[in-house]
Amino acid sequence: MEKLLVTGAAGGVGTRLRKLMKGLYPSIRWSDLRKPGDLAGDEDFMAADLADLAAVEKIVAGVEGIVHLGGYSVEGPWDTILQANIVGTYNLFEAARRAGVKRVVFASSNHAVGFYPRDKRIGINVPVRPDSRYGVSKAFGEALGALYAEKHGIRVTCLRIGNVGDAPADRRRLAIWLKPEDLVALIRIGLEHPHIRYEIFYGVSDNADSWWDNSNARRYGYQPQGKAGDSLHQAMAAQAALPPDPIGDRYQGGPFCSDEYDTGKAR
């Protein structure tokens, strides 16, 4: 990869990646709706609204690979999710097709499968069970990536990201924590591995309590370095301070599942 585009540059994950990916590729263009406040003078940045196809075509022009982090990163109103995550992701893939982009790494989410119970270990081949409108948008992005891989030959990797941070912040995140450096490793597999066509990986570190079978990522050489268990005591202490959540504590998606939940006790 000589020239790379990364969307979502101003977000929490994008801000980390701007530091961790510095120097990994000859040229990285960063984009977001607004310019990050901590942008360095040597960073190439172009602002764009993902819901505007013409603007997306401008930021995609001339790049070989894309890491698509951009969009609305939590649950929100349908119109917000629709424009930022569904229309925006379509525009990203369509602009990539028109520009001849070779590879796209799509930041999917654990919330595409959030309604699986915590006592069930799942792999990549289970049906999606989104826990929110946000999760629906990520399931849509995975499906869209498959279409553009099969029909148009873009090499697509979807990362069902758990939770990126310095350490797991509670019991749930002991299972889904992703060390930032491990995220970089997954991105590099998606951008560089010669045999990628369309793949789904879980964005998770080497966590003993993980709910996910990530053997597909390991098959491509993923060797995560982070271990959530190293922060077990801190995570459990933080968990003790949280209020009980009978629905969220049952499912992998946590509070995304209990938010707006009105199925009733009969379920």
Determine which one of 72, 90, 116, 134 is catalytic: 134
Picking from 38, 42, 45, 48, the residue whose alpha carbon sits closest to that of residue 70 is: 48
CB 240 within 8 A of CB 232: no
Alpha-carbon gap, residue 201 to 217, rounded angstroms? 5
CB atoms within 10 A of CB 100: 13
Own/partner pairs, 82-89, CB within 8 angstroms, 24+ separation: 82/137, 83/51, 84/50, 84/51, 85/134, 85/137, 85/138, 85/140, 85/141, 86/137, 86/140, 87/50, 87/51, 88/50, 88/51, 88/56, 89/50, 89/137, 89/140, 89/141, 89/144
Listed in sequence order, the DSSP H helices in 165-229 are: 171-176, 180-192, 215-219
> Residues 6 or more apart from 166 whose CB is under 8 A from it?
180
134 is catalytic: yes
Alpha-carbon gap, residue 247 to 253, rounded angstroms? 10
Q: Known catalytic residues?
A: 134
